[in-house]
């Protein structure tokens, strides 16, 4: 056997091992950080709904974003950063009231659809967002929160990550339609904010949704 055969065979084999091991190890680390972060919040007498751990970074979303929660997570060893994502929502004026009415009408007629268990928009979902883009274009001074929500099936942490990926997919599509990215903030709430009963098929369908809320008026 040629003396170069073993080393050459070893290179692709080692590559396959790395390809399999590194992502799994990263997911294990992320899951461990999420578990310890949740425990830290509960130990401080705080809820963990609205906590997202992405890699080594923790994000506190919505009502979870309090100074007490921030302080509790900053003591978790292994987290690289901790931040609060969502600002308080301002009082409505005529522009925001009109925009909210338009968005409510659009989303009531047709929800923003995705392929199952993914952040890929369906064709009807894109058509709905085309109408959303027109509504946002008519209110150029408004910044909105795009929030993703899931039903309660599956792993809660994975649902949080999926809901944020879907919110970002919506943002990217709206940017492609001419809406500046600076006018949109993305948030994933996972299964923490149901609007219907997860025990029924219709309820789960209602809970899998994208919402828009006004954050700022310039």
The answer on pLDDT for 54 being more than 80 is no
pTM value > 0.75: no
The reported pLDDT for the residue numbered 141 is 83
Condensed to tens digits (0 to 9), the pLDDT of residues 152-208 reads 999 888 998 999 999 999 999 999 999 999 898 888 889 888 889 999 999 999 999
pLDDT at 20 (0 to 100): 46
Distance CA 144, CA 151 (A): 23
Query: pLDDT category, 29, cuts 50, 70, 90?
Result: confident
Most confidently modeled range among 28-32, 52-56, 115-119, 122-126: 122-126
Whether the CB-CB separation of 215 and 143 falls below 8 Å is answered with yes
Tell me the pLDDT tens digit for each residue of 59-104: 877 666 778 888 888 888 888 888 776 555 555 677 777 888 888 8
Q: Span 7-15, mean pLDDT?
A: 52
Q: What is the CATH number of domain 94-217?
A: 3.30.1330.60
pLDDT at 175: 95
Q: Which part of the chain is CATH 3.30.1330.60?
A: 94-217
DSSP class per residue in 26-46: HHHHHHHHHHHHHHHHHHTT-
What are the phi and psi torsion angles at 152 (to 5°)?
-95, 5
pLDDT at 91: 57
DSSP assignment of the chain equals: --TTHHHHHHHHHHHHHHHHHHHHHHHHHHHHHHHHHHHHHHHTT---TTEEEETTEEEE-GGG--HHHHHHHTTSTT--EEEE--PPPPPP-HHHHHHHHHHHHHHHHS---B-TTSSPBPHHHHHHHHHHHHHHHT-TTEEEEEEEE--S-S-HHHHHHHHHHHHHHHHHHHHHTT--GGGEEEEEEETSS-SS-TTSHHHHHHHSEEEEEEEEE-
On the question of pLDDT at 23 being above 70, the answer is: no
């Amino acid at each position: 056997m040629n003396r170069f055969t073993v080393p050459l065979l070893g290179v692709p084999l080692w590559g396959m091992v790395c390809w399999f091991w590194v992502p799994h190890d990263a997911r294990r680390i992320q899951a461990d950080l999420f578990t310890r972060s949740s425990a830290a919040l509960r130990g401080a007498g705080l809820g963990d709904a609205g906590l997202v751990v992405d890699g080594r970074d923790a994000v506190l979303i919505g009502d979870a974003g309090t100074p007490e929660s921030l302080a509790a997570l900053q003591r978790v060893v292994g987290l690289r950063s901790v931040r609060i994502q969502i600002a308080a929502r301002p009082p409505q004026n005529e522009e925001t009231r009109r925009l909210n009415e338009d968005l409510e009408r659009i989303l009531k007629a047709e929800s923003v659809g995705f392929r199952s268990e993914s952040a890929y928009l369906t064709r009807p979902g894109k058509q709905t967002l085309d109408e959303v883009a027109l509504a946002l274009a008519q209110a150029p001074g408004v910044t909105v929160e795009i929030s993703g929500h899931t039903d309660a099936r599956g792993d809660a942490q994975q649902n949080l990550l999926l809901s944020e990926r879907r919110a970002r997919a919506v943002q990217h599509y709206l940017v492609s339609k001419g809406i500046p990215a600076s006018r949109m903030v993305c948030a994933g709430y996972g299964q923490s904010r149901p609007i219907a009963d997860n025990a029924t098929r219709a309820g789960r369908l209602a809970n899998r949704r994208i919402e828009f809320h006004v954050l700022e008026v310039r």
